[in-house]
Chain A
Amino acid sequence: MRPAELLVVYLLVGLAVAVAMVRAHHPGALQAVALWPLYLPGLLAAVAPPVAVPAERGDPRVDAAVDTLAEALRAWEGLPGEVDPDASLRAARKGLTALVRRVADLDHLLQAPGADLAQLRAELATTPDAAWPAVAARIVSLERLMGLRDQSVLDLERGLAGLADLTARVHVARFTGATGGDVAVQLAALAAAVDSAAEIRRLGVG
């Protein structure tokens, strides 16, 4: 395609974007004819339909916590316009589910044959010297896994408590008529987080 043809195609797309902006009552339609790559993301964000929360179900505690928050957000008429509740709820469910899965995976590992700490310690006492370092290393690894499992349980409890606290603050904002700026910030952070599990854990830290 020659540069002139490319320019014509570019301007035609710009014209289409400008028309869409006029219909959506966005300012800057004239500039958009030439600079539509800068205006297009904002236009698409404005006209995109809301994405429904997926109906997948998992852990009952996670479902209950997320459903309670969803109900609170639905009832809050003063929900800040910039908050995307669907994205926040999706992130909350994803983060908590990740933590539940982590605990389940670690439990599965710790219940496997050969993962009995007491048995390994007894075995250590009777193991020949040549094999002693290997058995000792297994005990250390197992203890680490148990520690990770305990930490993961704590993180999950923290996350659930944090979500419950966020739900309570939504109710407070709803009934007091407060603007709920801190709630909006936390919901936005949830929606924007790359690592939902870390973000949900942070909710419970305070």
Chain B
Amino acid sequence: METHLHAPGPVEEPLARLLLEDPTRLDTHFADPGGVAAVMPRLVTVSVTATVAHALALAVVGHQLDHHDILARTLELSQAYGLGFFGAQVAALPSAWFYALLAGIRQPAWRVAGEAMRAHATTSMVLLGLLPVWFAGALGATWLDQGHYLPLISMGAGALGLALPFLAGLAGTRALYGAFRRQVAERRRDPEAARSPAPLLLVLAWALLFTTMAPVGVAHFLGGL
């Protein structure tokens, strides 16, 4: 694989292409701290946008049921999900560095932070794609509930909405696994390493760690607000 030899300038390519269509192009930006610094603001922006959009969608759907203030509820949910996910991500960063070491590659801290943000941004991108579908379905379900026809459907739709970021997180986990495996294959240049299940197992362990901490964080911040 050709290596980008010079620190890249501003990232001009569409983020959707970098995250979803051809993630190997983002690898070249992640090869040095300057590249990570150049792309990080865009990754954070898409993550924050998805968090707010998700919170707004939940608030609008919830308003159909209990008529609370949409703006206040949006702020509450944005803070809870944002802080919960961010806290879990920061807490899991050292584990990601350690797991990379177990796979035989020494990843600098800036690369670990970049890859974690890449996974989060990929999740956010997928979430933004899923939200309109869920929103339409959930609004329909709450309309049915107001007719007291099938309240379980609206409850299920609500629960699905709360869990949507975690479902979208499967895409983020896959992105992290792909990035991790490419690094192992590139750094070790060993056919055995390329076939090793270590990257998959370690990413699954990291994902389990994140998925355990994130809901606890979200519930904590939701309960405390």
A residues apposed to B, CB below 8 Å: 26-28, 31, 35, 37-39, 41-46, 80-82, 179-181, 184-185, 188-189, 192-195, 202
Binds A, one of B31-39, B70-78, B168-176, B206-214: B31-39
Decide yes or no whether B68 CB sits under 8 A from chain A: no
Measured CA separation A80–B31 after assembly (Å)? 11
Instruction: Report if A194-B101 is in contact (Cβ < 8 Å); known contacts: A42-B40, A80-B6.
Output: yes
Main secondary structure of the interface of B (DSSP, over half): helix
Closest 9 CB pairs of A and B: A28-B41, A41-B109, A80-B5, A42-B110, A45-B33, A41-B110, A82-B32, A37-B90, A45-B110
| Cβ contacts under 8 Å, A38 to chain B | 40, 44, 89-90, 113, 116-117
Q: CA separation between A184 and B186, bound complex, in Å?
A: 12
Residues of A within 8 A of B135 (CB): none
Please tell me if B114 contacts chain A, counting CB pairs below 8 Å.
yes
B187 touches A188 (CB 8 A): yes
Question: In whole angstroms, what is the CA distance A118 to B105 when docked?
Answer: 44
Q: What are 23 inter-chain pairs, A to B, with CB distance below 8 A?
A: A27-B40, A31-B41, A31-B45, A37-B90, A37-B93, A38-B89, A38-B90, A38-B117, A39-B37, A42-B40, A80-B6, A81-B32, A82-B3, A82-B7, A184-B3, A185-B186, A188-B3, A189-B188, A189-B189, A193-B104, A194-B106, A195-B104, A202-B189
Q: Say if the beta carbon of B112 comes within 8 Å of chain A.
A: yes
- Cα distance A164–B168 in the bound complex, in angstroms: 49
Are A27 and B106 neighbours in the complex by a CB distance under 8 Å? Answer: no
Contact A193 B106 (CB under 8 A): yes
Q: Which residues of the other chain, B, contact A46 by a CB distance below 8 angstroms? A: 33-34, 37
Task: Flag if B4 contacts A82 (CB, 8 Å).
Answer: yes
One digit per residue, 1 when the CB lies within 8 angstroms of any chain A CB and 0 when it does not, for chain B 22-49 equals 0000000001111011101100110000
The answer on a CB contact under 8 Å between B40 and A39 is yes
- CB proximity of A35 to chain B, nearest CB, Å: 6
Cβ-based interface call for B190 (8 A): yes
Is B166 in the interface zone, CB < 8 Å from A? no
Q: Is B12 interfacial (CB 8 A cutoff)?
A: no
Interface size on B, residues (CB 8 A): 40
Cβ–Cβ < 8 Å partners of A188 in chain B:
3, 187
Instruction: Assess whether A45 is in contact with B188, with CB atoms less than 8 Å apart.
Output: no
A135, chain B: closest CB distance, angstroms: 38
B38 close to A194 (CB less than 8 A): no
Distance in angstroms between the alpha carbons of A2 and B6 in the assembled complex: 46
- Given contact pairs A41-B112, A80-B6, A81-B32, a sample of 15 additional A-B residue pairs in the complex whose CB atoms are under 8 Å apart: A27-B37, A28-B40, A31-B45, A35-B44, A37-B93, A38-B89, A39-B113, A41-B109, A41-B110, A46-B34, A82-B5, A82-B7, A184-B3, A184-B5, A194-B106
**B166 CB → nearest A CB, Å:** 21
Given the known inter-chain contacts A42-B33, A185-B3, please indicate yes or no for A202 contacting B190, CB distance below 8 A.
yes
In the bound complex, residues from chain A placing their C-beta under 8 Å from that of B114 are 42
